[in-house]
Structure 1
Amino acid sequence: MRNILIAVAAATVAFPAAAHDHHGDPGLEVSEERLRADMDTIVGFGTRHTLSSQTDPERGIGAAVNWALAEFGRIGDACDDCLEVLPVGRIVEADGRRIPQDTLVRNAVAIQRGTERPDEVIIVQAHYDSRVTDPLNGTDDAPGANDDGSGSVMVLEAARILSQRDYPSTIIYALVTGEEQGLYGAGILADWVGEQGMTVKAVLNNDMIGNSCGSDGFCDAEHVRVFSEGLRADSTEELRARQRRFGGENDSPGRNLSRWLNDVAEDYPNGMQVRQIWRTDRMGRGGDQIPFLDRGYPAVRVTVAVEDYEHQHQDLRVEDGITYGDTVDELDWTYLTRASQLNLRALDRLARAPMPPSLDANGIVRTDTVLTWNGVEGASTYVVMARRTNEPEWTQDVAIVNYETSSGTRPITPMTEREHSFVSPLRGDDWIFGIQACGSTPNSCSPFSSAVPGGAFYPLDVDNAD
């Protein structure tokens, strides 16, 4: 139960009851039949190893990427060419480790341009390549059903469903390769997004979302894990010094994106729920969210609640009575469908939500806290919340500032054309403050950004970053 604090500054503040309008829920449109059909096609390429054939028309990574590009094209045909489809890639030079010779790393990408803020993007991605035990084996069969055919079929299904709707922000659907060789495809895509001058609101990296039982027999069909970094990967010595003094260890944009995903899941109590894991990735492991984090973009990894290591990165074989290999028959289709539904619900909200504002909190030598932020395009309402410094989640309502006279609240006068201010009676030493921006449609509120060093949803080298 949230404790409600009504504070009045330059606006009349009210706390309306939360309204969860599930009309038009895109999650309900997810088709297990389509997921299965796409999976059959994908594993039918035999191997999708990054070092496999680029030219064979039926087998290997070249044929697989060509099919994905064609499938994105067919999806675009069904929405009056609403998708821009392109292979984002480059030649990766031999690295002496998992790229033994110069290799083409090619991603299949489809872009659904936003109708109002086309340079503000959400990326949903999965890695398309597969492998067996030896990371350099590009010839043996590597079905890669769960790792990461499961994420790949979800991305295709998301494109089919969401491309039938218009959104203010841009959605990028990406099947990246080179993950098993060193996260190369995601790095190429992250660089390309930066070169296009895009503002990245969120990256949802889905890597293994298709099984519910682990190697030890423990099963959890009710949760996905969401991994998020604490300290920003693009941090600087100056930022770390400021965080030591003012906080921010638990308030990276990725961490707040994780909190937001948990809230989205809780709006659907019968749907897939989120178990937040507050580390960048699994112990000693990595994923395609990392290249985006390295460049300062908000990103999380969505993955199974428990892992089955006998059916991950394994040669196809039976040994001591145990069957190894990442095959279709090991998938939990109900689990994959529910994980896909969660992704579509989150993407739908993110694409309608404005960009999270940057918030500043000044409580130095005072008994209250002055909160200031710059307005963001597409926002009609700002929600300010707080939490005790030792609390994990936003618990304290501070203010709802609404600029629409039709809402019944009195619009405030901005300090400048873009800058707004609000005074909270909460003492700044004891609380961490966050703000989200909401659009004009139901369930269109952004993740929170935190009023701490490094809390803004922008790379640190961007002019309007924290």
Structure 2
Amino acid sequence: MKSLFLALFLLSSVVCQAQPAILKQDQKIMQMLDEVSEKNIEANVRKLVTFQTRHSLSDTLSKTTGIGAARNWIKSEMERYSRESGGRLKAEFDVFTQPADGRRITVPTVMKNVMGILPGTDPLDDRVFIVSGHYDSRASDVNDSKIFAPGANDDASGTSAVMELARVMSKHKFNSTIIFVAMVAEEQGLYGAANLAKRAKESKWNVAGMITNDIIGNTYGVETGLKDNRSVRIFSEGVPAAETPAEAAVRTSTGSENDGRARQFARYIKEVGERYVDQLDVKLIYRRDRFLRGGDHTPFSQAGFPGIRITEMNENFDRQHQTVRSENGVDYGDLPDFVDYAYTQKVAKMNLAALANLALSPREPENVGIVTSQLTNKTVLKWEKPKGESPAGYYVLMRETSSPTWEKKFFVTGTTAELNYSKDNYVFGVQSVDEEGHESLTVSPKPVR
């Protein structure tokens, strides 16, 4: 076994020098990617804009205008996808009453997230993956619930992408559960996400990863003049917001501040997204969100779940949170003609590739440890297979401490690995993998004797 292990390691080293972490593509996932429609994404964005405003305190009774009409339409689309999937997708409202906050919620208000739940087919797999965009909108005055607030890029683009994912993915079966969500009240204080994160926590959902797609349709930075339809940002925290003192002590002693679950999730999306989507450069941003800002993944992070934010590379602030107008020769406002739908389609495909690969994968290895019983320049890793499951094998990953992404990735069939590399100088991780090459999320080893 040791000779096989070394042969595989050496082979991987040669491959990874030229093209790190690029593995085979699953044709089922490729077929799903081919179904993601730029035309549908654009049609969804333009339909959402027709509701005039999707402000969270806007009209709930009209059939054509306001937040009520918008959420009813999104749910009706989810119900259509359900029928097309043979009833596998479950469309529902996540209903809650948001108390007045004296700031952006003036009176207690009934609010509704729109959810499409695609249950996993493996009864032993309790993993839940959540992918969202927020469907509410605003203009310059965040409390103006009646003014035209098209919100085409912020965030009809993210909502439309998630709807397209639900349409395509609901026709297929996955081991784990995927929940597609159009969140409400992001602009009022992340209230829709906070309610769903609370529900997930109280219901003891095993949320293995949460994605918010917020502002994913612009490719032109007006202030800088940069045009970029290749790059997309993923924001992730390194140190978990819900870290316990015991976990903090381990992190400090092992130097694992760059390997929290959200950061590992972001690395995974970059690796798999770039594996499947052409002309895509995923930029890992080492912040939970943009400078001094927040998004719908934040309440999930605070609840202890790995949450990440996906956002375009260059934001155009003339079109974000702006009342539609022309002023001093400059056009302001978040209108649908300014969304790059081919780029939005590309970001949607990145989401789909990562989610499908994850939801088809075995569960993560358990009790992953790095043996510290003696001082040595070698590294010994050991772990246990997921309960009730027998993966085809495991990938052991390795990178230098200064590297943002995994640099070596090699296969073993057992549950131990001995490396001629020092744990002082490198970072390691372990994934489960099935016969088709679907990898689980990476588990960071903890010190064990």
Give the TM-score of the pair, scaled to structure 2. Answer: 0.90
Match of 1:159 among 149, 161, 166: 166
Aligned residue for 1:339?
347
Aligned residue for 2:334?
326
Q: Please give the alpha-carbon distance, in whole angstroms, between the structure 1 residues aligned to 2:390 and 2:129.
A: 16
Judged with a 3 Å threshold, the aligned counterparts in structure 2 of structure 1 residues 34 and 390 are, in CA distance, closer, same or farther, namely closer
Match of 1:206 among 200, 205, 213: 213
> What is the 5 A alignment of 1:404-419?
412=414
- The DSSP-based 3-state class of the residue aligned with 1:310 is coil
Aligned residue for 1:62?
68
1:128 equivalent in alignment to 2:135: yes
Which deviates more from structure 2 when the two are superposed, residues 82-91 or residues 370-379? Answer: 370-379
Q: Which one has a larger percent helix, Structure 1 or Structure 2?
A: 2
Aligned residue for 1:251?
259
Aligned residue for 1:408?
none
1:449 equivalent in alignment to 2:412: no
What RMSD, in angstroms, separates the aligned Cα atoms of the two structures? 2.1
Q: Please give the alpha-carbon distance, in whole angstroms, between the structure 1 residues aligned to 2:147 and 2:203.
A: 38
1:401 equivalent in alignment to 2:412: yes
Q: Please give the alpha-carbon distance, in whole angstroms, between the structure 2 residues aligned to 1:291 and 1:57.
A: 31
Judged with a 3 Å threshold, the aligned counterparts in structure 2 of structure 1 residues 207 and 85 are, in CA distance, closer, same or farther, namely same
Q: Please give the alpha-carbon distance, in whole angstroms, between the structure 2 residues aligned to 1:54 and 1:126.
A: 20
- The DSSP-based 3-state class of the residue aligned with 2:8 is coil
Shift, 1:65, TM fit: 0.8
Aligned residue for 1:429?
424
Judged with a 3 Å threshold, the aligned counterparts in structure 2 of structure 1 residues 333 and 434 are, in CA distance, closer, same or farther, namely same
Match of 1:105 among 99, 104, 111: 111
Equivalent position amino acid for 1:131 in 2:
R
Q: Please give the alpha-carbon distance, in whole angstroms, between the structure 2 residues aligned to 1:145 and 1:51.
A: 18
- The DSSP-based 3-state class of the residue aligned with 2:318 is helix
Contact 1:9 1:423 in 2 (8 A): no
Q: Please give the alpha-carbon distance, in whole angstroms, between the structure 1 residues aligned to 2:306 and 2:434.
A: 20
Q: Which consecutive residues of structure 2, in runs of 5 or more, have no partner in the other structure?
A: 13-21
Shift, 1:96, TM fit: 1.7
Contact 2:369 2:445 in 1 (8 A): yes
Shift, 1:8, TM fit: 2.4
1:94 equivalent in alignment to 2:105: no
Shift, 1:14, TM fit: 2.9
Aligned residue for 2:19?
none
Shift, 1:354, TM fit: 2.5
1:229 equivalent in alignment to 2:237: yes
Shift, 1:452, TM fit: 4.8
Aligned residue for 1:171?
178
Deviations 1:153-180 (A, max 9, x none): 1111111111111111111000010101
Shift, 1:22, TM fit: 4.5
Q: Please give the alpha-carbon distance, in whole angstroms, between the structure 2 residues aligned to 1:236 and 1:58.
A: 48
Q: Please give the alpha-carbon distance, in whole angstroms, between the structure 2 residues aligned to 1:246 and 1:311.
A: 44
Deviations 1:275-312 (A, max 9, x none): 11111100121111111111111121111010000000
Aligned residue for 1:192?
199
> What is the 5 A alignment of 1:375-394?
375-376=385-386, 377=389, 379-394=391-406
Judged with a 3 Å threshold, the aligned counterparts in structure 2 of structure 1 residues 239 and 326 are, in CA distance, closer, same or farther, namely same
Aligned residue for 1:275?
283
Match of 2:249 among 231, 241, 246: 241
Deviations 1:129-187 (A, max 9, x none): 10011111111011100000001111111111111111111110000101011111111
Match of 2:369 among 337, 350, 360: 360
Judged with a 3 Å threshold, the aligned counterparts in structure 2 of structure 1 residues 269 and 126 are, in CA distance, closer, same or farther, namely closer
Equivalent position amino acid for 2:122 in 1:
E
Shift, 1:349, TM fit: 0.8
Residue identity (%): 36
- The DSSP-based 3-state class of the residue aligned with 2:310 is strand
Aligned residue for 1:79?
85
Which deviates more from structure 2 when the two are superposed, residues 351-360 or residues 10-19? Answer: 10-19
Aligned residue for 1:14?
8
Contact 1:357 1:436 in 2 (8 A): yes
Shift, 1:380, TM fit: 2.4
Q: Please give the alpha-carbon distance, in whole angstroms, between the structure 2 residues aligned to 1:98 and 1:435.
A: 45
Judged with a 3 Å threshold, the aligned counterparts in structure 2 of structure 1 residues 281 and 9 are, in CA distance, closer, same or farther, namely farther
Aligned residue for 2:27?
23
1:302 equivalent in alignment to 2:310: yes
Which deviates more from structure 2 when the two are superposed, residues 178-187 or residues 352-361? Answer: 352-361
Shift, 1:95, TM fit: 1.4
Aligned residue for 1:119?
126
Contact 2:94 2:196 in 1 (8 A): yes
Q: Please give the alpha-carbon distance, in whole angstroms, between the structure 2 residues aligned to 1:128 and 1:312.
A: 14
Contact 1:105 1:184 in 2 (8 A): no
Shift, 1:379, TM fit: 2.7
* Equivalent residues, number: 429
1:371 equivalent in alignment to 2:381: yes
Equivalent position amino acid for 2:412 in 1:
V
Q: Please give the alpha-carbon distance, in whole angstroms, between the structure 1 residues aligned to 2:371 and 2:392.
A: 24
Equivalent position amino acid for 1:429 in 2:
D
Give the TM-score of the pair, scaled to structure 1. Answer: 0.87
Q: Please give the alpha-carbon distance, in whole angstroms, between the structure 1 residues aligned to 2:324 and 2:130.
A: 33
Shift, 1:441, TM fit: 2.2
Q: Please give the alpha-carbon distance, in whole angstroms, between the structure 1 residues aligned to 2:7 and 2:176.
A: 28
